């Protein structure tokens, strides 16, 4: 087991009690705790509707369906993301159109490249807020409105982050047609599995709520609690429900989220200060800081050929690292005949140089100092390598 884990859980007696209460209630599927979690989550973001589902991937799938995306449609999506951002596009029979990143340390979708790839078949864009740093929503929303595109936010990394659009600050997740959040075990709000879809549109919320449970107009809890005696199935649905156990954990973690995000920000600030003099390494999103959720601490090596050795030497010191992410358009699934994609030079360059360092609320400032001392000794004195030009 590494001494310095990439991520860890800030769990304690409150979570234990919450799970025990669910077990003693003898109701494990969607029920009163799920409803309370949805209400509290929506209130946290200042949103009108929140629907608890099995995963962020399920939320993205349901969002696309609720926005009437289907066969023949194209959906803009970054390749610099986890594959779950793109897979739901294939689920609905649409075509992913991969967009390059901004570059220059900004790993988010480039508005300029997105605009250049819109065609008559474009119907939506999935905007990913990589590592918890908000994408340029003001520019992307302007493009989407000009072309009549639905905007779905993949906010898996970004719960608690803020962005500014049209002179107003909003919590991430408020400006698209729908936003999808992840509660996977390594996220800022972890429940093991699970996700949430947030929207201001009542029609989208209704469609998603029904579709998550086989298309039924009523839930099992509606019947068990006496609120309903029968139900209808008005459209095709799925088994995308979450559980009361996940909701109970989520409610506790939501209360802890502001303090835990503040801790992540403090640790990220310490990383940046310590690594400022390292010639061979630069933090991603180097010119931005305050409004991020700091889900990941990503650095870019100047020389991509050193990455394997860099990670091996850190592992030898007990420091766990990862890579976020291999480009989606490089995977075999997305390189099959008929799915050829244009080169994305900035995505390819960053993906070859990125390394993710440990970041979670249980780390101490001393831990970060020790990690940085090893990082500097292993990779911080390499010669400088000029990155490609940014895409804007």
Distance CA 52, CA 191 (A): 12
Q: Which of 123, 187, 218, 256 is catalytic?
A: 187
Distance CA 285, CA 167 (A): 21
By DSSP bridging, strand 297-301 and strand 281-283 are antiparallel
Active site residue 187: yes
Distance CA 329, CA 351 (A): 12
For 44, half-sphere exposure in the C-beta direction (CA atoms, 13 angstrom radius) is 24
CB 293 within 8 A of CB 182: no
By DSSP bridging, strand 178-182 and strand 195-199 are antiparallel
Q: Which residues are catalytic?
A: 187
């Amino acid at each position: 087991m590494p001494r310095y884990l990439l991520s860890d859980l800030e769990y304690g007696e409150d979570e234990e009690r919450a799970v025990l209460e669910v077990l003693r209630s003898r109701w494990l599927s969607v029920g009163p705790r799920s409803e309370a979690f949805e209400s509290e989550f929506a209130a946290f973001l200042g949103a009108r509707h929140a629907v608890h589902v099995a995963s962020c991937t399920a939320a993205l799938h349901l969002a696309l369906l609720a926005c009437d995306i289907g066969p023949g449609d194209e959906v803009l999506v970054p390749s610099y993301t986890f594959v779950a951002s793109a897979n739901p596009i294939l689920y609905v029979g649409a075509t992913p159109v991969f967009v390059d990143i901004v570059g220059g340390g900004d790993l988010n979708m480039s508005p300029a490249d997105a605009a250049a790839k819109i065609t008559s078949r474009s119907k939506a864009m999935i905007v990913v807020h990589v590592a918890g740093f908000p994408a340029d929503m003001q520019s992307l929303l302007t493009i989407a409105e000009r072309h009549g595109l639905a905007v779905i936010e993949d906010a898996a990394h970004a719960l608690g982050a803020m962005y500014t659009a049209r002179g107003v600050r909003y919590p991430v997740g408020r400006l698209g047609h729908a936003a999808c959040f992840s509660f996977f075990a390594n996220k800022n709000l972890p429940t093991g599995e699970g996700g949430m879809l947030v929207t201001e549109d009542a029609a989208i919320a209704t469609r998603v709520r029904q579709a998550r449970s086989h298309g039924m107009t009523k839930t099992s809890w509606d019947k068990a609690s006496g609120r309903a005696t029968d139900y209808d199935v008005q459209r095709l649905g799925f088994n995308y429900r979450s559980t009361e156990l996940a909701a109970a954990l989520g409610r506790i973690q939501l209360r802890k989220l502001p303090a835990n995000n503040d801790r992540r920000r403090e640790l990220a600030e310490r990383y940046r200060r310590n690594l400022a003099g390292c010639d061979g390494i630069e933090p991603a999103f180097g010119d931005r800081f305050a409004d991020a959720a700091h889900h990941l601490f990503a650095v870019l090596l100047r020389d991509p050929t050193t990455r394997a050795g860099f990670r091996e030497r850190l592992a030898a010191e007990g420091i766990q690292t990862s890579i976020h992410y291999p480009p989606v358009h490089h995977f075999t699934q997305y390189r099959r005949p008929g799915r050829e994609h244009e080169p994305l030079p900035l995505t390819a360059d960053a993906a070859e140089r990125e390394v993710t360092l440990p970041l979670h609320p249980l780390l101490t400032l001393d831990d970060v100092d020790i990690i940085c001392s090893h990082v500097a000794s292993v990779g911080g004195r390499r010669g400088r390598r000029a990155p490609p030009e940014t895409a804007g």
